[in-house]
Structure 1
Amino acid sequence: MRRQLNTLYVTTEGAWLHKDGENIVMDVEGETKARIPVHMLESMVCFGRVLVSPPLLGFCAEKGICISFLSSYGKFLARVEGPVSGNVLLRREQYRRSEKIQEDLEIVRNVLKGKIFNQRAVLARAMRDHGAGFSTDGSDRLRYALLRLKRIGEQLFSIDEIDILRGMEGEAAQLYFSVFDLLIRVDNSAFRFTNRSRRPPLDPVNALLSFIYTLLTHDCRSALETVGLDPAVGFLHRDRPGRPSLALDLMEEFRPVFADRLVLSLLNRRQIIERDFRTMDNGAVILRDDARKKVLIAYQDRKREDIYHAFIDEKVPLGQFPFVQAQLLARHLRGDLDGYPPFLWK
Structure 2
Amino acid sequence: MKRPYYLFSSGRLRRQHNTLSLERATSERQPDDASDDNGLPSVEADGPRMPFPVEAVESLYLFGEIDINTKLVSFLGQQGIPTFFYDYYGNYTATLFPRESQLSGRLRVDQARHYLSARRRLVLARGFVEAALFNIERVIKYYQSRLSGEAQVAVQATLLDLRRDRDALPLTVDIPTLMAVEGRIRDRYYRLWPNFLGPEVSARFPFNKRERRPPSNELNALISFGNSLCYSTVLRQIYRTALDPTIAYLHEPGDRRFSLALDIAEVFKPLLVDRMIFRLLKTAELQPRHFEKHLGGCYLNEAGRKIVVKDWDDRLSQTVQHRTLNKKVSYERLIRHECYKLIRHLCDPTGDLYQGFHMWW
Pick from 64, 84, 87: which aligns with 1:71? 87
Aligned twin of 2:98:
82
- Distance in structure 2 (CA, Å) of the matches to 1:86 and 1:254: 25
Structure 1: 4+ residue segments shifted above 3 A: 29-33, 101-104, 308-314
Give 1:250 deviation, angstroms: 0.5
Equivalence map 1:120-139=2 (5 Å): 120-128=137-145, 130-131=146-147, 134=148, 136-139=149-152
Give 1:101 deviation, angstroms: 3.2
Q: Gapped runs of 5+ residues in structure 2?
A: 26-45
CA shift in 2, pair 1:312/1:111, >3 Å:
farther
Aligned twin of 1:250:
264
Q: Please say if residues 186 and 268 of structure 1, whose CA atoms lie closer than 8 Å, have aligned partners that are also in contact.
A: no
Bigger mean CA deviation after superposition, 206-215 or 46-55:
46-55
Aligned-partner residue type, residue 9 of structure 1: Y
Pick from 95, 104, 107: which aligns with 2:124? 107
TM-score when normalising by structure 2 = 0.88
Matched position secondary structure for 1:9 = strand
- Distance in structure 1 (CA, Å) of the matches to 2:171 and 2:67: 52
Tell me whether 1:340 sits opposite 2:354 in the alignment: yes
Tell me whether 1:187 sits opposite 2:200 in the alignment: yes
Aligned twin of 2:165:
152
Tell me whether 1:314 sits opposite 2:342 in the alignment: no
TM-score when normalising by structure 1 = 0.92
1:305-335 CA-to-partner distances (Å, cap 9, x unmatched) read 1124445443311122221111111121122
CA shift in 2, pair 1:218/1:184, >3 Å:
same
Tell me whether 1:284 sits opposite 2:297 in the alignment: yes
Matched pairs, number: 337
1:227-251 CA-to-partner distances (Å, cap 9, x unmatched) read 1111122100012211221100001
- Aligned CA-pair RMSD: 1.8
Aligned twin of 2:61:
45
CA shift in 2, pair 1:87/1:338, >3 Å:
same
Give 1:127 deviation, angstroms: 1.2
CA shift in 2, pair 1:275/1:55, >3 Å:
same
Aligned-partner residue type, residue 68 of structure 1: F
Pick from 29, 48, 54: which aligns with 2:70? 54
1:88-135 CA-to-partner distances (Å, cap 9, x unmatched) read 21111111111223454221111111100000000100113x22xx4x
Aligned twin of 1:21:
17
Bigger mean CA deviation after superposition, 162-171 or 201-210:
162-171
Q: Quote the sequence identity (%).
A: 25
Pick from 215, 230, 240: which aligns with 1:226? 240
- Distance in structure 1 (CA, Å) of the matches to 2:55 and 2:144: 44
- Distance in structure 2 (CA, Å) of the matches to 1:300 and 1:186: 29
